[in-house]
Amino acid sequence: MQEKVSPGAWICLIFSFISGFSTLFLQEAKLLEQDVWLSYLCGIAMSFGVLAVLYLAQRNYPGLSMTEVFDRLLGKQIAKICLCLYLVYILEIQGAAFQALTLFYRTVVLPNTSSGQIILLIALTTAYASSLGLGAIVRTVQVLLCFFLFFMLVIVVFIYKNVTINPFLPLFQHRAPEIAFGGLLSLYFPFGKSIVFCFLFSRVTNRKKLLPSTLIALSLSGLYLFAATYLSFGSLGMNLVQSVTFPFFSAIQLVRFGEYLERIEIMIIGIWTVFTLFEIIVLQFVFMQVFEHIFALKHVRALALPVGLLFFAMSHRSFVHQADLSFYNFRIGPFSTLLPTVVIPLLLLLISLLKRGNRSGEGGPLLASSDDARRPRS
Amino acid sequence: MVNNAVCAIAIGYGIGACIALQRRGSGREGAAVLLLCVVVAAYCAPVIGKSMPTVESAYKRIYGPISSYMLEKLGIR
Amino acid sequence: MLLLCLLLPLAASCSPDVTEISDLTLIMAVGIDYDEKTNRYTLSTYNVMPTSQSTERSAKLTGWVVSASGSSLLETARNLRGLVGNRMIWQHNKFALIGEEAARHSFYGIMDFLMRNRQVRLSSYLIVSEGKASDKLNVRSASGDLLSNDLLGKVRNEKEWGKSIMLSIQEVANWQPDPYRGFVTGKVGIASLPADAKDELSLGGGAVFDKGKFKQWIKGDDVLVVQLLSHKNRWRNMEFVVSVGEEADRATLFFKEVGQSIHTGFRNGRPCVDIALSFTATMGEIDRSLPLDNPAEIGKLEQSASRELERRIDKSLAYFQHDVRTDVLGFSELFAQRHPKHWAAAKANWEDIYPTMPVNVHADVKIDRLGMIQYSKGQSDGE
Under DSSP, is residue C362 helix (H, G, I), strand (E, B) or coil? strand
Range of the domain at B22: 2-74
**CB-CB under 8 Å, B12 with C6:** no
In chain A, positions 303-322, which contact chain C (CB-CB < 8 Å)?
A: 305
Looking at the complex, report in whole angstroms how far the Cα of residue B63 sits from the nearest Cα belonging to chain C. Answer: 32
Once rounded to an integer, what is the mean pLDDT over residues C267-280? 92
Contact C329, C230 (CB under 8 A): yes
| B15 CB within 8 Å of a chain C CB | no
As a whole number of angstroms, the distance between CA A9 and CA A115 comes to 33
Domain layout of chain A by residue ranges: 7-351
The pairing of beta strand C183-193 with beta strand C125-129:
parallel
Best to test chain A binding among C121, C150, C334 (most A CBs inside 10 Å): C121
Span C348-367, average pLDDT: 94
- The tens digit of pLDDT for each residue in C224-242 reads 999 999 999 899 999 999 9
CB contact under 8 Å between A254 and C168, yes or no, is yes
- In the predicted structure, residue C121 carries a pLDDT above the cut 70: yes
Q: Collect all residues of chain C within an 8 Å Cβ-Cβ radius of residue A312.
A: none
Q: Pick the closest to residue C242 from C218, C260, C221 (CA basis).
A: C221
Nearest CB to A236: which of C4, C170, C338?
C170
Nearest chain C residue (CA) to B14:
C3
Q: Flag whether residue B9 sits within 8 Å of chain C, measured between CB atoms.
A: yes
* Record: contact A237-C338, CB cut-off 8 A: no
Instruction: Tell me how many domains chain B contains.
Output: 1
CA C333 to chain centre: 20
Taking the C-alpha atoms of residue B34 and residue C327, their distance in angstroms, rounded to an integer, is 69
Contacts of A180 in chain B (CB under 8 A): 74
Q: Is C18 an 8 Å CB contact of chain B?
A: no
Which of B1, B2, B9 has its CB closest to that of C6? Answer: B9
Q: What is the pLDDT of residue A360?
A: 66
In the chain, the amino acid numbered C154 is: K
Q: Would the CB atoms of B14 and A306 count as touching at under 8 Å?
A: yes
Looking at residue A376, what is its pLDDT? 44
| Cβ-defined contact of A302 to B17 (cutoff 8 Å) | yes
Closest CA to C325 of C360, C344, C297, C352: C352
What share of chain C in percent tops pLDDT 70? Answer: 89
Touching subunits for chain B (3+ Cβ pairs under 8 A): A, C
How close C14 gets to chain B, by Cα (Å)?
A: 13
CB neighbours (10 Å) of residue C294? 11
pLDDT at C132 over 70: yes
Q: Specify whether the CB–CB gap between A217 and C84 falls below 8 A.
A: no
DSSP summary character for residue C8: G
The SS3 of residue C192 is strand
C10: which chain B residues are within 8 Å (Cβ-Cβ)? 1-2, 5
CB contact under 8 A, B5 and C7: yes
All partners of chain C with 3 or more CB pairs under 8 angstroms: A, B
Provide CB contacts within 8 A for A201, sequence distance 6+: A54, A55, A58, A65, A66, A207, A210
Q: What is the per-residue pLDDT for C141?
A: 80
Question: Are C4 and A111 an interchain contact pair (Cβ–Cβ within 8 Å)?
Answer: no
> Residue C84 above 50 pLDDT?
yes
CB C325 within 8 A of CB C180: no
Q: Which among C323, C342, C322 has a CA at the least distance from the CA of C332?
A: C342
Judge if the upstream peptide bond of residue A170 is cis by omega within 30 degrees of 0.
Answer: yes
Single-letter amino acid code for the residue at A97: A
* Chain A neighbors (3+ CB pairs < 8 Å): B, C
2-21 of B, contacting A, C-beta below 8 A: 2-3, 6, 9-10, 13-14, 17, 21
Which pTM does this prediction carry? 0.89
C12 shares contact with chain B (CB less than 8 Å)? no
C337–chain A Cβ distance below 8 A for any pair:
yes
Mutate to test the interface with B, among C2, C7, C8, C14 (most CBs of B within 10 A): C7
- Cα separation, C363 vs C311, in Å, equals 10
The two beta strands, C167-168 and C125-129, are antiparallel
Q: Which residue of B55, B63, B72, B74 is the best one to mutate when testing the A interface, meaning the one whose CB has the most A CBs within 10 A? A: B55
Is the pLDDT reported for residue C25 higher than 70?
Answer: yes
User: How far apart (Å, rounded) are the C-alpha atoms in residues A223 and A37?
Assistant: 10
Superfamily name with CATH number, domain A7-351: Hydantoin permease (1.10.4160.10)
Whole-number average pLDDT of chain C: 87
Contact predicate C374/C293, CB 8 Å: yes
Phi and psi at A357, nearest 5°, equal: -60, -45
| Partner A contacted by B37 (CB < 8 A) | yes
Is any Cβ of chain A less than 8 angstroms from the Cβ of C338? yes
Task: Give the best residue of A98, A117, A246, A263 to mutate against chain C (max C CB count within 10 A).
Answer: A117
A121–C12 C-beta distance less than 8 A: yes
Whether the predicted pLDDT of C190 surpasses 70 = yes
Residues, chain C, total?
A: 383
Please indicate if any CB of chain C lies within 8 Å of the CB of B11: no
Whole-number pLDDT of residue A364: 44
Of A224, A249, A223, A221, nearest to A235 by C-alpha is A249
pLDDT attached to residue A371: 43
Count CB pairs under 8 A between chains B and C. 11
How many Å lie between the alpha carbon of C8 and the closest alpha carbon of chain B? Answer: 11
The whole-angstrom separation of Cα A231 and Cα C105 is 34
Inform me whether the pLDDT recorded for C56 exceeds 60: no
- How far apart, in whole angstroms, are the C-alpha atoms of residue A244 and residue A24? 11
| Chain length of chain A | 378
Work out the minimum CA distance from C25 to partner chain B, whole angstroms: 33
Shortest Cα distance, chain A CAs vs residue C215, angstroms: 21
How many CB contacts within 8 angstroms connect chain A with chain B? 117
pLDDT at A366: 44
CA distance B67 to chain A (A): 6
Q: CB C175 to CB A237 under 8 A?
A: yes
pLDDT above 60 for C59: no
Give the ipTM.
Answer: 0.94
Give me the tens of pLDDT residue by residue for chain A, a chain 378 residues long.
Answer: 678 899 999 999 999 999 988 999 999 999 999 999 999 999 999 999 999 999 998 888 888 899 999 999 999 999 999 999 999 999 999 999 999 999 999 998 888 888 999 999 999 999 999 999 999 999 999 999 998 999 899 999 999 988 988 889 889 999 999 999 999 999 998 999 999 999 999 999 988 899 999 999 999 999 999 999 999 999 999 999 999 999 999 999 998 887 777 788 888 888 889 889 999 999 999 999 999 999 998 888 889 999 999 999 999 999 988 899 999 999 999 999 999 999 999 999 999 888 877 766 554 444 444 444 444 443
Cis peptide before A190 (omega within 30 of 0): yes
Contact A165 C16 (CB under 8 A): no
State pLDDT tens for residues B38-65.
999 999 998 888 889 999 999 999 999 9
> Which residue in B has a C-alpha nearest to residue C1's C-alpha?
B13
- Within 8 A of A309 by CB-CB distance, chain B residues are 6, 9-10, 36-37, 40
Pairing mode, if any, of strands C95-99 and C87-89? unpaired
Looking at residue A337, its pLDDT comes to 94
A232 contacts chain C (CB < 8 A): no
Burial B48-75 (b: 16+ CB within 10 A, else e): ebeeeebbbeebbeebeeebeebbeeee
- Mean pLDDT of all residues in chain B? 91
For residue C120, the Cα-to-chain-centroid distance in whole angstroms is 18
Q: How far is B20 from chain A (nearest CA, A)?
A: 11
Residue A339 distance to chain C (closest CA, Å): 36
Q: What is the DSSP string of A181-208?
A: HHHHHHHHTTGGGGGGGGGGGGGBS-GG
A291, A313, A332: residue with CB nearest B67: A332
Domains and CATH numbers, chain C: 23-218 (no CATH), 221-383 (3.30.300.210)
CB atoms within 10 A of CB C109: 16
| CA dihedral angle for residue C305, residue C310, residue C316, residue C320, rounded to 10 degrees | 160
Q: In Å, how far is A249's CA from the nearest CA of chain C?
A: 11
Distance CA C38, CA C129 (A): 20
Residue of C nearest to B17 (CA): C3
